[in-house]
Amino acid sequence: MSGVKPRLPPVADGSDQRPLRTAVVGCGALAHATHLPTIAASPHLTLQVACDRDPAMAASAAQRFGAGRVSSDWRAVVEAADIDLIVLCTHTNLRSELILPALAAGKPVFTEKPAAADEAEMLRIIRAAQDAGVPVCVGHNRRSAPAMRRFLHLAGLARSRGAEVPAIIDRCSALRRPLREERAAQLLIRINDDSRTWKGWECLDPQGVMVYEMVHFIDLALLIAGSPPVRVYASGSNRGNFTQIIDFQDGGSTTIHQTVVGNFDAPKELFEYTAGHVTVALDHFMEVRQHGLAGEPLRSVFPLGIGAEVDDGAGIEAFHRGSARLQALKAAGQPLPCLHVFPDKGHRQHLEAFAAHVRGEGANPCPVEDSFAVTRVALRLLQSARLGQPLPVLPEDHDLVQGDLAGLLKGGL
């Protein structure tokens, strides 16, 4: 599934292909904030259909972002001859039910995470994508964020090269050989969440944020580790205020700490990776800092994704200034130029990269096969929290090959 031939004929002059005619299914808050604006602004995509089970929601999206038509029936979208790409933005209550017939009809699908509600559904989607030879991309957008790409690059250097800048204090180099633990990379992910911003269903979902939100971070943990996961442990409520630990075969470990009693106006996400006596930190997708790597800047800064009209600077200071300015405007009863300031977490880049892949130009930024291990590890963590004990992660939980898939699906999954 690493490549796909261009599906669209060239335009009349033979120079370039026309934009992908795109349908967005699920026109709620996420679609309005990310995918609909991306499609409306992209020269490579055109919004053909806005589809939502609420006709008023679909009509509103169509009017705001210029859709060719509206629909309240996703089945009509799947069957339509004038759709080249489906962007699925619903909750996991609609995944394989749409994705499977879409793939059978030759339509690539960009689906929001999680890609499936359970392991059986994930396997059905993967098999259908492989059988049809049609790509599915999972919306693990943080992979594509400019700041995360910088962080991943530096983490790779830390793992492969180790510290190149002498430490100010080093009392051990001449006294002992390195400890075994010094060869094990560590990743800390802190999520400062504010449950006041949530919708009601998020508190009622049986899997909770421990699955449907943490798959973002589990995906990154598995991507960064460079070693298979072997054990997981989770403690806390699946609705929030929990800690998740993933141990890897090489001795490395990832700790994900999440809180729902934080403040929305504070930076939400902090990633800190340590390996080979190098420390790399990503602060709310606004800046990346590193210590220990020669020839790399100590600090790389990035602009806001939403809120440039409030602050057009870069780095974590721009986020703080923008938040403070919005608070001041709100306190004074003045109109707000935007609802909030928000970093660039890669939503636009992720969807654009998948559109390019569908056109035969580059790799799929997150093939659905990549979500196999993410889904299984997420469900193991949820099970661990409910049982109150660590659980093993077996090779078949993360290492999917074609033979395994065929065998698993023979059982009727």
Digit-coded pLDDT (tens) for 48-80? 999 999 999 999 999 999 999 999 999 999 999
The string of pLDDT tens digits covering residues 91-123 is: 878 899 999 999 999 999 999 999 888 888 999
CATH number assigned to the domain covering 141-164+181-302+344-413? 3.30.360.10
Q: What is the pTM for the complete model shown?
A: 0.90
For every residue of the chain, which 3-state class applies, written as one string? CCCCCCCCCECCCCCCECCEEEEEECCCHHHHHHHHHHHHHCCCEEEEEEECCCHHHHHHHHHHHCCCEEECCHHHHHHCCCCCEEEECCCCCCCHHHHHHHHHCCCCEEECCCCCCCHHHHHHHHHHHHHHCCCEEECCHHHHCHHHHHHHHHHHHHHHHCCCCCCCCCCCCCCCCCCHHHHCCEEEEEEECEHHHCCCHHHHCCCCHHHHCCHHHHHHHHHHHCCCEEEEEEEEECCEEEEEEEEECCCCEEEEEEECECCCCCCCEEEEEEECCEEEEEECCCEEEEECCCCCCCEEECEEEECCCCCCCECHHHHHHHHHHHHHHHHCCCCCCCCCCEECCCHHHHHHHHHHHHCCCCCCCCEHHHHHHHHHHHHHHHHHHHHCCCEECCHHHHCCCHHHHHHHHHCCC
Query: Residue 175: its pLDDT value, please?
Result: 66
Q: Report whether pLDDT(3) > 60.
A: no
User: So what's the pLDDT on residue 201?
Assistant: 63
Instruction: Render pLDDT for 345-356 as a digit per residue (tens, 0 to 9).
Output: 999 999 999 999
pLDDT at residue 15 greater than cutoff 70 = no
Residue 6 has pLDDT above 60, yes or no: no
Q: Specify the range with the lowest mean pLDDT, choosing from 129-143, 171-185, 315-329, 345-359.
A: 171-185
Average pLDDT, the chain: 90
pLDDT of 11 > 70? The answer is no
What percent of the chain stands above pLDDT 70? 91
Q: pLDDT digits over 168-217, tens only?
A: 888 776 667 778 888 899 999 999 999 888 776 666 777 888 898 999 99
